Structure 1
Amino acid sequence: MGERMFPLERQKKILELLMIKKVLKLTELTEELNISIDTLRRDLNHLTKQGKIEKIYGGVKLVESKFGESTIADRLISHIEEKERIAKKCSEYIHDGDCIYLDSGSTTFQIAKYIKNKKNLTVITNSVPIVNELMNDDVELIIIGGKVRQNEQSVVAYEYLFNFNELNILKAFIGASGITIEKGISDYNLEEAITRKNMIELSKEVYVAADSTKFDKDVTIGIAPLDKIDYIITDGNIKKDFINKFKKITTSLIISE
């Protein structure tokens, strides 16, 4: 397939692969894309000129972005072990026949990998990486309509394009950039926040999937107080005093091992 794909398609695929795995060897890319080393070199030269990737010894990596909220590409990789553990734990709460919402966070992206063998699952999402991940699996996929935020690879929903109230969501899995007991969960982007708020209102159960670095942070935009959140699933590095605080409130804290 590789050589017959358009160069643009191949280059997009190379970037997608680099988002999942930070650094790739040239041999990994030629095998994955089923192309010759010459074809690969042409693609890589093109992407290097565009400033999207940089060549390193024997391979390539994505160029880091330097400002504000790190891009989804960077975040898909940071704290990866914790995120995978959290995602695996989340998947234990997803059952055959569920209708779930997975939002565009980097931790929620990992959940997609653990639910491919569930039966009759409906996944609603605003995440382009999640759509790519589940595209060829036996999952009913619904992507919400709206504007694409390139650096987040997410869709910001427009009410007039998408009738949220028709959705019968059993469980929503939401990411957050900050979590505090007093203020609840928060995020950096207003548009993403609106979609998350909608989904929290519509879902019977709300799960926040967030690694322990997000606790005790209150970032720009409030999304929901903790009384709207049923479960927070995080990793084992969470501080003891937080665990104690959760004993006094209705939100359950679940720690992935």
Structure 2
Amino acid sequence: MIPVLRRQQLLELLPESEVVLLTDLIEKVNISESTLRRDLKELELQGDIEMLRGGGVRLKKEVVELDLNEKISLNKEEKERIVQYAANLINPNDVVFLDPSSLNLLMVDYIKSENVTVVTNSIATCNKLVSRNIKCILVGGEIKVKTSSCIGPIADQILSGLRFSKSFLGANGISVENGITNHDLRERSIKRIAINNSVNTYFLIDSSKYEVVAMCKIAEIDECNIITGKKYNEFDKLENIIVV
């Protein structure tokens, strides 16, 4: 096969928003490892893909913030595994904070413990909690339409006076070098308050966020527990990463 067609075939094998390991690609294509690496290097130079530390590769994409419905539709199967595991960490009588991440919205369906109080700054998550008859406290503030959430100084002030058994947070990016990052400085403030006011904090992060770097740093990669759905070699030495 001529190189240009072979490289086009490689692009078609890379699912959108997912990291694929080089070892997995070798199993899917009938070429040598050296040829595969040359083709991937050429695609990277063309700006079509990103070669990641740890032996991963994915289609190149701009770091933009999606709305809530778009986030929910990405990596749905992986996200379901993550949220089912996370929901099982919630114990009876816990006071839990859920930020406006799409994974937290999905997780509401799997909360089974009784007498749980959930604090959230997500309007969508609050509505879902109410529909399931789960006790909920909605933190008010400035409305951010794209994420259906309340942010800003009013939200910060309310949240600062509360304490949590556990917090479950989302993020826009994660990497060993840059830590856990987010697009919005106001959302970053909410997350930092939740981390500081919680006995335990868990970031729920699917593989589409690997090696993405957003504007605001929330935390170092080893500062909190991280629940994710796909093994990634770069994270192997980190004891706080839980792969489900």
Any idea what SS the aligned residue of 1:228 has?
Answer: coil
Q: Which amino acid aligns with 1:244?
A: D
Q: Does 1:228 align with 2:220?
A: no
1:69 aligns with 2:65: yes
Q: TM-score, normalised by structure 2?
A: 0.70
TM superposition outliers: structure 1 runs of 4+ over 4 Å = none
Matches within 5 A, 1:57-96: 68-96=64-92
Q: CA deviation at 1:161?
A: 7.5
Q: Please, what is the CA RMSD of the aligned residues? A: 2.0
Distance of aligned partners of 1:182 and 1:127 in 2 relative to their CA distance in 1, 3 Å threshold: same
Match of 2:242 in 1: 254
Residue 128, structure 1, aligned to residue 123, structure 2: yes
Deviation at 1:157, TM superposition (A): 4.0
Q: How is 1:135-174 mapped onto 2 (pairs within 5 angstroms)?
A: 135-159=130-154, 162-174=157-169
Alpha-carbon distance, 1:160 to partner: 7.4
How high is the TM-score relative to the length of structure 1? 0.66
Deviation at 1:162, TM superposition (A): 3.7
Q: 2:153 corresponds to which letter in structure 1? A: Y
Contact conserved, 2:140 with 2:155, CA < 8 A, in 1?
Answer: no
Give the drift of 1:163.
3.0
| Match of residue 186 from structure 2 | 191
- Choose which of 205, 213, 218 in structure 1 pairs with 2:208: 213
Residue 88 of structure 1: how far off its partner (Å): 0.2
| Residue identity (%) | 29
Distance in structure 1 (CA, Å) of the matches to 2:142 and 2:200: 27
Match of 1:20 in 2: none
- Cα distance, 1:139 vs structure 2: 1.9
SS of 1:119's equivalent in the other structure is coil
Which amino acid is 1:242 matched to? E
Q: Verify the 8 A CA contact 1:144 1:157 in the aligned structure 2.
A: no
In structure 2, stretches of 5+ residues that fail to align are: 1-62
**1:97 and 2:89 matched:** no
Tell me the number of residue pairs that the alignment of Structure 1 and Structure 2 aligns.
183
Residue of structure 2 equivalent to 1:47? none
What stretches of structure 1 of length at least 5 have no aligned partner?
1-66
Aligned with 2:107 (options 87, 107, 111): 111
Q: Hey, what's the Cα distance between the residues in 2 that align with 1:142 and 1:101?
A: 9
Q: Which amino acid aligns with 1:214?
A: K
Question: Which fold has the larger relative contact order, with Cα–Cα distance below 8 Å and residues 6 or more apart in sequence?
Answer: 2
SS in 2 for 1:155: strand
Counterpart residue identity of residue 81, structure 1: E
TM-superposed deviation, 1:89: 0.6
- Conserved in 2, the CA contact under 8 Å of 1:185 and 1:223? yes
